[in-house]
Amino acid sequence: MSIISARRISQAFFLVLFLWFCIVTSSGEKWRQLRGWPVNWLLEMDPLVGLGTLLGTHELHKGLLWGLAVIILTILLGRFFCSWICPFGTIHQIVGFLGRRKEALFQKIDSNRFNSWQSVKYWLLVFLLSGAAADFIGFSATISRDDPRRVWLVAGVVCIATVLLLAFYRLKDQKNMMIPLAVAVFFASFLNVVFREDQLLQHSLQTGLLDPIPLAYRSINLIVLPMVDASFRHLSPTPRFYQGAWFIGALFFTSILLNLKIPRFYCRFICPLGALFGLLSRYAIWRIGKTDAKCAECLMCEKNCEGACSPSGRMILSECVLCFNCIKACQTKQIAYQKEPSAGGELPVPDLSRRGFMISFFSGVAAIPISRTSGVMAANWNPGLIRPPGTLSEKDFLSRCIKCGQCMRICPTNVIQPAILEGGIEGVWTPVLNFRIGKSGCRHTCIACSHLCPTGAIRPITLDERMGKGIFSKSDPIRIGTAFIDRGRCFPWSMDKPCIVCQENCPVSPKAIFTKILFSTLRVPAPLIISSADSTRVMLGGAHLVPNRLTTGDYFCRLKNPQDPHERLIIENSENHIVISPKFPWKSLPETGKEIEVFIRLQQPYVDIERCIGCGICEHECPVSGKRAIRVTAENESRNKTRTLLPGKSNDHDRF
């Protein structure tokens, strides 16, 4: 078996495995549903996920050590992940191959030449990691020497950062690294010392926006699978909808279709994970290179070069994705996978300028503070930003969430949605709850999302903890918000129409929604004058009632007479007569010519904020179309002490 065949088998295996993981990420007990499948394995293998969360949280979530194994293998073998494992890269390679299979030889060679714009992905990597790195520098300066675990953590991160920073520059230019590095470290340290307690300069993880593995999970889970399953209904009994799906789909399909113009466009120009592997691969023990400096320069090796790494000339190590196409294409067998440097010369990484490094670093450090000047993390927080149960505090959540969409995919009711701008620009595509979408609200007996989050942004919780039972019986249930009645839109409050849908669907016991009875006079076009009557039936002269409208059990009648204050239940009506319940007949027959009044028994809803957990089932079931008459906001949520409902009262339900 050739090395090319082995690579294709590996790519097919991991692509099928990735798609299978996306398919089985659904609640249930069937073989094709989540039953112990390691659906986060590819996310855990992503070193950028581990590095980003490590810099942002100063901790490494369990499972992310798989990324360390990938880093070690990259240092040994080179940038193997991109062409052997990455499912997103495989999709790009397939589309690029199909789109270019009929091109002439010179066209293929020309499209695979190195382009200086391939340096952009390195600046994107610096931009995405710099905010977390700046905070980490301040954190490193404040840790105690008595905490050996964190001391070793800082030491390890410093070593990795040093290797990556040195990898930015060619060996002869490494001395030039000292100036931008020293300036960057001084700037970050100064900001963290001065603003250490200010949320404005806290970390925020944004690598998930462009990291190919979270991007692939997000796109397949929220776009491709719902589109495919819309006709078959095998994965979900009802269609699944996601807000802002058009933008996620546009990014995904645009990145795919660009391969028709330039092979592996995303991998070459945008991918921050590829940039990380590129920096590490310059230290690779094994590498592709020429065995002889003399070459016929037929350029056949560049015909199908996936990384555009110039194998015919001076090999650019950081761009080589180990597709091995050049080895197969070389007719003189002068290209090999070897330990020795390429005889034709090597360029560890593209020529990256100090100016580009400084611009990317300072832009990344400044991006989060600028985005928070609107006050979304302070007094101007959005009450409509409702996070799933178990979510960490907003600051800690944003330092962990990689926007992979796993929690949205596993949600059985489809209420977890990708945020648009509810949490500001840094909260784009993070999970929020939209109770109008899906089959119901957030089930108070469901904890699926908390056990699937790969980074711990939504911490694992138990049913007892969520419901406040068992060992958690002394504490309240986990609250994600509080429901409020909009009396201007509520049927019983503003329109004199009976409705208790919200109270009936409240899952809390005792119910968090209760009602108070009020009798309201029914408006009629003309007075209801009695023409004749018996003990239970009243005939009305000239009346034009809607037949059977008053038979729902919510309508009562009473003589317009102070001496008859009792309302009697109406059980039947036509255009000109009313029948009352025989259990409450008239004590004396009504007189002809007297006026009768019809009343509506309204059960006006109220919310008990001490019991409401913010599940949103009431909002989902509310019959008012458009803007619901009962809505949930984030006040009184368990994860934040300051977002209380009553002034002067601290939220004693915080567990974090």
pLDDT digits (tens, 9 = 90+) for 350-375: 777 777 778 888 888 888 878 888 87
Instruction: Quote the CA–CA distance of 322 and 256 in Å, as a whole number.
Output: 21
| Residue whose pair of structure tokens reads 């197969």 in the numeric block | 328
Residue 495 has what DSSP assignment?
Answer: I
Class of domain 518-604: mainly beta
Q: What mean pLDDT is predicted for residues 557-569?
A: 80
Instruction: Give residues with Cβ within 8 angstroms of 8, minimum separation 6.
Output: none
Instruction: Pick the closest to residue 572 from 555, 551, 552 (CA basis).
Output: 551
Poorest-pLDDT segment among 192-196, 381-385, 423-427, 494-498: 192-196
Please give the share of the chain, as a percent, with pLDDT higher than 70.
86
Instruction: Pick the closest to residue 426 from 481, 383, 364, 479 (CA basis).
Output: 364
Instruction: Quote the CA–CA distance of 522 and 543 in Å, as a whole number.
Output: 14
pLDDT at 56: 79
- Residue-wise pLDDT for 423-478, tens only, equals 888 899 999 999 998 888 999 889 999 999 999 999 999 999 999 888 888 888 99
pLDDT band at 651 (very low <50, low <70, confident <90, very high): low
Instruction: Quote the CA–CA distance of 434 and 419 in Å, as a whole number.
Output: 9
Structure tokens at 514: 């209760």
In 419-567, DSSP assigns E strands to: 431-433, 482-485, 513-521, 528-533, 537-541, 555-559
- Residue-wise pLDDT for 31-80, tens only, equals 666 667 889 999 999 999 999 888 878 777 777 889 899 999 999 999 99
- Residue-wise pLDDT for 205-246, tens only, equals 899 999 999 999 999 999 999 998 877 777 777 888 999 999
Instruction: Give residues with Cβ within 8 angstroms of 215, minimum separation 6.
Output: 88, 208, 209, 251, 252
Poorest-pLDDT segment among 16-20, 140-144, 643-647: 140-144
Q: pTM of the prediction?
A: 0.86
pLDDT at 331: 84
Contact present, 337 and 328 (Cβ < 8 Å) = no
Residue 296 has pLDDT above 50, yes or no: yes
Instruction: Give residues with Cβ within 8 angstroms of 267, minimum separation 6.
Output: 82, 89, 92, 212, 274, 306, 307, 321
Instruction: Pick the closest to residue 326 from 294, 296, 288, 291 (CA basis).
Output: 288
pLDDT at 334: 86
CATH code for the domain defined by 286-347: 3.30.70
pLDDT at 652: 47
Q: Where are the domains of the chain?
A: 286-347, 518-604
- Residue-wise pLDDT for 531-546, tens only, equals 888 888 999 887 778 8
Query: Coil, strand, or helix at residue 287?
Result: strand
Per the prediction, the chain carries an average pLDDT of 84
Instruction: Quote the CA–CA distance of 476 and 465 in Å, as a whole number.
Output: 9
Structure tokens at 97: 């191959």
Query: Coil, strand, or helix at residue 519?
Result: strand
The answer to whether the bond into 272 is cis (omega within 30° of 0) is no
Structure tokens at 593: 């010519």
